[in-house]
């Protein structure tokens, strides 16, 4: 009973002061933040589709594809590869240095957003939305979601999946901080606002649901396709290499993030241990 009452109290504290405007903000922010994980899922599906089309003889025939399907399979992946690469490199630099690009003006007391950077964020966000929207429509039309199996039955270890999830979560945080939050803050509130715990919880839960539903297995196509093509002596395209590079870059981000957390915990432990010994020595002298 004590645990239940404590949990209810924490839930009330978490939801305290949330208005209809705040709910709209959280919903919009969460949906736009999930564009990046969805981009990884789409790129994995595109990789599957390109592999199967490359193995079919009618792929080289003059057959005409629907316009949306042509955009989804040939143009969208190129744009998404470039955009996701930019965000992933920015996340890698952030996890190494601890610094990230902010769109607010530190000299302004009202935490206003610098307009040229805000316009850049708008352009990136709208481009992601269009690419993901066309990609989902084209991939559904192509029947890429009809089968639940992916990666040719090849599965990475649980440890690899967890490390990749950590790296993807870090990359998504950088994407949300650099692009999504400034746009939503400026649109809904007009100024930059503080991050609330409930927003982090909702985003983390949504991303966890997406990961468990599709992403944890399908995203491995980015790296498995390259290995499958090499084994079958097929041409490895630039897009295949970029997908392979993105997978391992995200994996590296997860490794660095976990390493930094472990180093931080070890430093705190050593500091507290040293402080305890020093305190004991002082007591002995007294």
pLDDT tens sequence across 221-279: 888 877 777 777 777 778 888 888 999 999 999 999 999 999 988 888 887 777 665 65
Q: What is the DSSP track for 208-220?
A: HHHIIIIIHHHTT
- pLDDT higher than 90, residue 47: no
Q: What is the pLDDT of residue 87?
A: 94
Phi then psi for 114, rounded to 5 degrees?
-65, 125
Q: What is the pLDDT of residue 281?
A: 56
Q: What is the pLDDT of residue 257?
A: 92
> Mean per-residue pLDDT for 205-224?
86
Dihedral of CA atoms 164, 165, 167, 168 in degrees, nearest 10, equals 110
Q: What is the pLDDT of residue 126?
A: 92
- pLDDT higher than 70, residue 15: no
Other CB atoms within 10 A of residue 166 CB: 19
**Regarding predicted confidence, which is higher, 60 or 143?**
143
Reference 47, options 247, 208, 233; nearest CA is 247
pLDDT tens sequence across 86-96: 999 999 999 98
Q: What is the pLDDT of residue 109?
A: 47
pLDDT bin (cut points 50, 70, 90) of residue 166 is very high
Q: What is the DSSP track for 42-72?
A: HHHHHHHHHHHHHHSGGGGS-PPPPHHHHII
Q: Alpha helix locations (H) across the chain?
A: 2-15, 20-33, 35-55, 67-70, 76-97, 115-141, 158-175, 181-188, 197-210, 216-218, 221-231, 238-285
**Regarding predicted confidence, which is higher, 257 or 52?**
257
- pLDDT higher than 80, residue 105: no
């Amino acid at each position: 009973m004590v645990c239940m009452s404590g949990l209810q109290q924490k839930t009330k504290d978490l939801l305290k002061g949330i208005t209809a405007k705040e709910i709209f903000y959280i919903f919009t922010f969460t949906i736009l933040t999930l564009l990046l994980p969805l981009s990884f899922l789409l790129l994995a599906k595109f990789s599957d589709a390109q592999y199967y089309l490359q193995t079919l003889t009618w792929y080289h025939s003059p057959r005409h594809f629907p316009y949306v399907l042509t955009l989804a399979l040939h143009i969208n992946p190129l744009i998404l590869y470039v955009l996701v690469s930019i965000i992933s490199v920015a996340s890698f630099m952030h996890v190494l240095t601890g610094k990230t690009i902010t769109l607010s003006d530190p000299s302004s007391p009202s935490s206003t957003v610098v307009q040229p950077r805000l316009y850049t964020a708008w352009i990136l966000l709208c481009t992601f939305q269009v690419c993901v929207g066309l990609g989902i429509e084209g991939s559904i039309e192509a029947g890429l979601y009809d089968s639940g199996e992916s990666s040719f039955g090849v599965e990475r270890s649980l440890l690899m999946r967890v490390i990749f999830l950590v790296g993807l979560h870090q990359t998504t945080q950088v994407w949300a901080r650099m692009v999504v939050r400034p746009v939503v803050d400026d649109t809904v509130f007009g100024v930059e606002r503080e991050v609330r715990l409930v927003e982090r919880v909702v985003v983390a839960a949504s991303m966890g649901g997406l990961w468990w539903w599709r992403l944890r297995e399908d995203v491995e196509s980015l790296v498995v396709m390259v290995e499958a093509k090499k084994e079958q002596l097929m041409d490895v395209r630039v897009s295949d290499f970029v997908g392979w590079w993105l997978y391992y870059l995200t994996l590296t981000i997860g490794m660095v993030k976990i390493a930094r957390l472990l180093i931080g915990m070890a430093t705190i432990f050593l500091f507290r241990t040293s402080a305890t010994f020093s305190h004991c020595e002082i007591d002995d002298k007294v």
